[in-house]
Amino acid sequence: MLVPRTPGIVTQGEDSTSLGWWVSFCEAVPLPQLTLHGHEQQAVFRPVVAEAHGCAVIFSGVLHSELALNEGERENSLDGTPSAAAVILQAYLRRGERILDALKGMFALFLWDTNSRILLCVRDPLGLVPLFYARAGQKLLFASSLDVLVHHPQVSPEINRVAFAEHLVHRWPKREETVYTHVKRLPAGHVLRLSNHEQQIFRYWDPAPPHRGLQWANEDDLDQFALLFEQAVSRCVRLGPAAIYLSGGLDSVSVAAFATAQCRRDGMPDPVALSLVFPDPDCNEEAVQRGVTAALRVPQVLTNFDQTVEPEGLLRTALTLSSTLPMPLLNTYAPAYHFLGHVGQQRGCQTILTGGGGDEWLCVSPYYAADLLRRFNLTGLYQLWNAMQRSYPISRWLLLRNVVWRFGVRLLIGEAIKKWTPWVLPLRRRLLQPLPSWLAPDPTLRRSLAERTEETYGDQDIKSLYEREMRRALDHPLVSWEMEETWESGRRLGVVIQQPFWDADLIEFLYRIPPKLLDRGGRTKGLVRQLIARRFPTLGFASQKKVLATNFFCARIVHEGLPAWERMGGVSMLDQIGIVNEKATHSTIPAILAQNHPPHLFRVWELLNLEAWLRSHVR
């Protein structure tokens, strides 16, 4: 039943067929109508509505912005504290679309101005809350879940074959694409603006607008890091009793230390540490995990990794999970963390913090090597290599080859070809990076892949490869995919999974930290390394190297891959829709497993993963 509220918005009660809330915008009536449908189980993401003076706001999520209200603007609140929707609406009535610059938090937002006939659909700066949209006749539909949209009778569930094929060769050129041809994502930090039947999508939040030039921070600015990180953690723990996915690495340990201090200042329960114990000694961090929780004096749940995926094993458990998700699974270890998250939820935790984002924003990208070589800065190149070899358990000679060749000379050659002989690049790609023989047997699909080979996203006018790579940390389609998967995991657990390092205010600061300050002390993650080393002086963080679980995962694929492949009986669905030649894979997959070559082993997982997902989603 539709409940009228104003001429511009109506709300619709919970629908038994609905998988969550969704919003429709109908342009076909004399006065375009914005409608809120369905229901959201998680209170923090339950949409709230505010209306006044012919304008209406629908808001789902958490607002961090300081949009000050006058005393007379609190009339929409029952307890004197205005809802986020009311705050945004009153600010819009005063300042119009200029409020977009001030929006921070994790949210999806719809603002409908019936007076100007303008609809603004906004995704939070870092895409922590998903927002998808699709056209359905004369309606535009929005939802935070793909499943909601593809279950709508007017939205085609056609699979995006090109996106699937490109995923198998690790190309992701279009950040707005999803696994469905007719459903798009609104990129993080972007707004979709509808006015007079014209649709425009643009970025409203940018930590370093290219037209202004990047203003690097200096040594004196570094004191701001601890304050901004503390603020980011505080924003996370204020949502309720917290747990932390605690590994033994610098990122999650720093989150645990700051969260514990913040909870005690606020009189909240200590956070619960949720830790996995890996059976492989090369990636087992149990000693450090125990040492951190003992020093912090917080409760800890230590769980053996194999226990979290019993009795099926890692691959089959992950494939089962993937088949139930709106998009194919990215994080293969998700079943183990889902197990831990369930433990945290049973202990009363309402939010789970992670160290996600630390690798992206605290480390110097190896693409910096190309910039250093371009300037003939061999001293800087040596310092980059030295910091990496002191921070990663990788052969110094392999690192040297990667720094000098893969992320240095080879990239500069590619840049020169793009500039001076661009016609050579597609030919070079086809010769040096040919498509596997079993991929895209359909000539139409193969032609589409060839045409999209040179498509890129992001600002290619930025000359610095290091700065260009930082843009990709914001814009890469896989980043949005990971955020969407994290949100869905929390939704299923009934908690909010949060990543303090993915905080807009913190990233605006970290974006401006030059590489030499990120690697202060001659090791990666210098900003948190020094803080954590002082907080836990006996645990070796000053010289700790990053723990890599690649060999552990590859060993699991070798051990479990062939039984999983045989149980699945091939990739018939991928073959049916023309993405893969199934007959060719029957000889390829056993050969890959026998060779035990890591890059190719990941391809086994990807084929199994996409097949499992398709079988449960293709109608």
CA 513 to each of CA 26, 479, 519, 544: distance values in angstroms, whole numbers, following the listed order: 45, 21, 10, 22
> Has residue 458 got a pLDDT over 70?
no
**How would you classify the pairing of strands 48-52 and 55-63?**
antiparallel
**Angle subtended at Cα 336 by Cα 333 and Cα 338, rounded to the nearest 5 degrees:** 105
CB-based contact 230:258 (threshold 8 Å): yes
CB-based contact 165:151 (threshold 8 Å): no
How many CB atoms neighbour CB 570 within 10 A?
17
> For residue 439, what is the DSSP state?
B
- The pLDDT confidence band at residue 524, using thresholds 50, 70 and 90, is very high
Supply the pLDDT for residue 17: 40
> Has residue 69 got a pLDDT over 60?
no
How many CB atoms neighbour CB 211 within 10 A?
7
Structural domains of the chain ordered from first start: 2-203 (3.60.20.10), 551-617 (no CATH)
Q: What percent of the chain has pLDDT over 90?
A: 76
- CA–CA separation, 86 and 550 (whole Å): 48
> Has residue 396 got a pLDDT over 80?
yes
Between 8 and 450, the higher pLDDT residue? 450
- CA–CA separation, 85 and 104 (whole Å): 13
pTM of the model: 0.92
> Has residue 429 got a pLDDT over 70?
no
Structure tokens at 333: 């270890």
CB-based contact 179:159 (threshold 8 Å): yes
HSE-up of residue 110 (Cα within 13 Å, Cβ side): 29
pLDDT per position as a tens digit, 213-272 = 788 999 999 999 999 999 999 999 999 999 999 999 999 999 999 999 999 999 999 999
Task: Find all residues with CB under 8 Å of 100, minimum gap 6, and list them.
Answer: 120, 122, 191, 204, 205
Alpha helices in 422-476 (DSSP H): 424-432, 443-451, 465-475
Query: 496: closest CA among 351, 349, 345?
Result: 351
> Has residue 171 got a pLDDT over 90?
no
Mean pLDDT across the stretch 551-572? 93
Mean pLDDT across the stretch 163-171? 92
506's enclosing H/E stretch is: helix 504-510
pLDDT per position as a tens digit, 562-600 = 999 999 999 999 999 999 999 999 888 888 888 877 778
HSE-up of residue 469 (Cα within 13 Å, Cβ side): 17
How many CB atoms neighbour CB 246 within 10 A?
30
Supply the pLDDT for residue 462: 79
HSE-up of residue 29 (Cα within 13 Å, Cβ side): 13
- CA–CA separation, 73 and 87 (whole Å): 8
CB-based contact 7:114 (threshold 8 Å): yes
234's enclosing H/E stretch is: helix 223-237
> Has residue 71 got a pLDDT over 70?
no
Supply the pLDDT for residue 30: 65
- The pLDDT confidence band at residue 421, using thresholds 50, 70 and 90, is confident
